[in-house]
A and B are shown apart, each in its own frame.
Chain A
Amino acid sequence: MNPSTNAKAKILAAARKNAPADMALPDRLATAIRYDNPLEQFSSMLAAIGGEAVVVHSPDEADRIVRGRYDSALPWSSFVDGIGETNIAAAQLHDPHSLAGLDVAILPGHLAVAENGAIWITQSDDYARAIYFLCEHLVLVISADDIVHNMHEGYDQIAERALYPHQGFAAWVAGPSKTADIEQSLVIGAQGPRSLLVFIVA
Chain B
Amino acid sequence: MNHATAAKKFVTNYERAHWHDASLWFVRSKRDKATEVIPEWEQLRETASQIKRHTLAHLTDYLEQFTREAESRGVVVHWAVDAKEHNEIVAELLAERGMTRLVKSKSMLTEECHLNDFLTERGVEVIDTDLGERIVQLRRETPSHIVLPAIHLKRQDVGQTFHEYLDAPPGLDSPDELTELARHHLREKLLAAEAGLTGVNFGIAETGGIVICTNEGNADLGTALPKLHIASMGIEKLIPKTEHLSVFLRLLARSATGQPITSYSSHFQGPRPDGELHIILVDNGRTNLMASTEFHRALNCIRCGACLNTCPVYRRSGGHSYHATVAGPIGSVLGPAQDPKQHHSLPFACTLCGSCTDVCPVKIPLHHQLLAFRSQLAEQKLVSAPKRWGMSVASTIMRRPWLFALTGRMARFSLRWLPRFITHSWPNTWAQKRELPDAPKQSFRGWLADRPNDDNRNVDNGKQK
Contact = CB atoms under 8 A, between A and B. Distances in A.
A183 B154 CA distance: 6
B121 interface: no
A32 B377 CA distance: 43
B415 to A, nearest CB: 44
Contact of B242 (A10, A97, A159): A159
A66 interface: no
B283 A49 contact: no
Interface residues of B, number: 94
A32 B40 CA distance: 6
B32 interface: no
Interface string B163-201: 000000000000110111011001100110000000000
Nearest to B74: A167
Interface in A119-145: 128-130, 132-134
B232 to A, nearest CB: 14
A18 to B, nearest CB: 4
Given A129-B272, A171-B267, A14 B179 contact: no
Given A11-B287, A174-B262, A130 B221 contact: yes
A29 B38 CA distance: 13
A25 interface: yes
B225 A96 contact: yes
Interface stretch (A52-60, A68-76, A188-196): A188-196
A97 B224 CA distance: 9
Interface string A157-193: 0110000111111111111111111111101011111
Main secondary structure, interface of B, reads helix
B260 A174 contact: yes
Interface stretch (B59-67, B332-340, B433-441, B453-461): B59-67
Contacts of A45: 260
B429 interface: no
B442 interface: no
Chain A interface category by residue count: 35 or more
Contact of A19 (B60, B64, B148): B60
Nearest to B291: A18
Nearest to B105: A191
B216 A191 contact: yes
B57 to A, nearest CB: 5
Interface in A1-28: 3-5, 7-8, 10-12, 14-26, 28
A118 interface: yes
Contact of B73 (A16, A33, A166): A166
Given A21-B57, A171-B264, A175-B263, A133 B220 contact: yes
B290 A15 contact: yes
B93 to A, nearest CB: 11
A191 B217 contact: yes
B221 A191 contact: yes
Contact of A12 (B60, B221, B225): B60
Contacts of A48: 260
Interface string B256-285: 010111111111111010000000010100
B79 A7 contact: yes
Contact of A170 (B180, B216, B217, B267): B267
A4 B93 CA distance: 13
13 contacts: A3-B85, A11-B81, A14-B283, A23-B54, A29-B47, A115-B38, A129-B224, A151-B261, A155-B245, A171-B265, A174-B264, A192-B220, A193-B217
Given A16-B60, A187-B179, 16 more contacts: A4-B79, A5-B79, A11-B63, A11-B287, A12-B60, A14-B283, A15-B60, A20-B293, A97-B191, A132-B224, A158-B242, A172-B265, A181-B132, A182-B153, A184-B26, A187-B176
